[in-house]
Amino acid sequence: MHDITRFFGIIIMSLSHPKECNMPLFEGFNDIEFPLYRDIVYAIYFREHDKDTYFYVGESSRHIGRIGDYLSAKFSAPTDFKVGETIKYLLSIGYEVGVKYKESQSRKVDEKSVLDELRKNNKMLNDLPGYDYKTADERQERLKIHEFIRGLVREEFKGENTDLENASESNKVIYETLPDVKKSLADLYITDPVQKDIFLHRATQFKQWANFIAGLVLTREGKEEFSLTEIQEILKNKFIPNHFNRPGASENSLLTHDMEINSDYHSGLPCLQRIAGTTRYKFVGFNIQDS
């Protein structure tokens, strides 16, 4: 690792700690040295307990403008997606991510030199296979990235209490969209193909699919009857903690009472039955009715 540090030399700049500008007019601005050459070689790392772990090496003829591609992380650009999603994932579970770069007059040679050195002790994201974006499934490719990074973190910090181990499974997908999470929940919990198809394609309203999945899992956990509070808690704390009470998953739009069999507001897809004389519910699955 020390050889890598010497390679980058004194012009190393960590993008997570750029120079600050002291002039009042530019308060809040950051400043970097203007490049002499456009070609660079760079290494991306994450930090835990003051230890930097390098996981990707690249080269570019666009200087640090290349980093912007990783912020976009377009699925149609496999390398951008792979690196960008890795960075998002690491940030979401509390790691600091930084970049070290050096201007180079032989960027491909230098890239290989750094990568070969790091491979001696590190698993590198460079070696994770790519994909054909025209046929690949975006969610599956994202999960491959998650698994790679989880393995890398565990390998780097064996026996230590890491942010990864403290993070809940839901936090590890903090940046997945609500439809992504809904699809994940269906794959994980719904075994009946008819009910799954309804959940994915007909239950488009939040109140429909959220009450269904909450009721299904609460029942599997041995709760033949459950309350509105229990539905809210499993959604907020287990299923969609990073989306609950936000756009598309507002608590006010949960409307559990609308999903009762005897309600006029379930839009043809009731899934709950109220226990007579109580405010508790029983899960009955999607009971398809004409809306």
Q: Are residues 157 and 113 in the same domain?
A: yes
Co-location of 21 and 153 in the same domain: yes
Whether residue 291 is contained in a domain is answered as: no
Q: Both 160 and 34 in a single domain?
A: yes
Number of Cβ within a 10 Å radius of residue 287: 13
d(CA 95, CA 104): 29
Q: How many domains does the chain have?
A: 2
**Across the strands, what pairs with 97?**
46
Asked if residue 80 lies in contact with residue 73, where contact means CB atoms within 8 angstroms, the answer is: yes
Of 107, 139, 172, the domain-final residue: 172
| Residues spanned by the domain of 156 | 2-172
Q: Which of 124, 146, 172 is the last residue of a domain?
A: 172
Per-residue pLDDT of the chain (291 residues; tens, 9 = 90+): 445 655 654 334 444 455 555 667 877 777 777 888 899 999 999 987 778 999 999 999 999 889 889 988 899 999 999 999 999 888 877 788 999 999 999 999 999 999 999 999 889 999 999 999 999 988 888 888 888 888 887 776 554 544 444 444 444 444 467 888 898 889 889 999 999 999 999 999 999 999 999 999 999 999 999 999 999 999 998 888 878 888 889 999 999 999 999 999 999 999 999 999 999 999 999 987 654
Instruction: Read off the pLDDT of residues 121-140 as tens digits, 9 standing for 90 and up.
Output: 889 999 999 999 999 988 88
CB 263, CB 270: distance < 8 Å? yes
130 and 20 share one domain? yes
* DSSP H or E stretch at residue 103: strand 96-103
Domain match, 167 and 255 both: no
DSSP 143-174: HHHHHHHHHHHHHHTTTS--HHHHS-TTGGGT
> Which 3 state secondary structure label does DSSP give 47?
strand
| 193 shares a domain with 162 | no
Instruction: Let me know: does 125 contact 148? Beta carbons within 8 Å.
Output: yes
End-of-domain residue from the set 112, 138, 172: 172
Model confidence pLDDT, tens digit, residues 262-286: 999 999 999 999 999 999 999 999 9
Instruction: Report percent pLDDT > 70 for the chain.
Output: 84
The H or E element containing residue 59 is strand 51-60
Is there a domain that residue 106 lies in?
yes
Same-domain pairing of 240 and 156: no
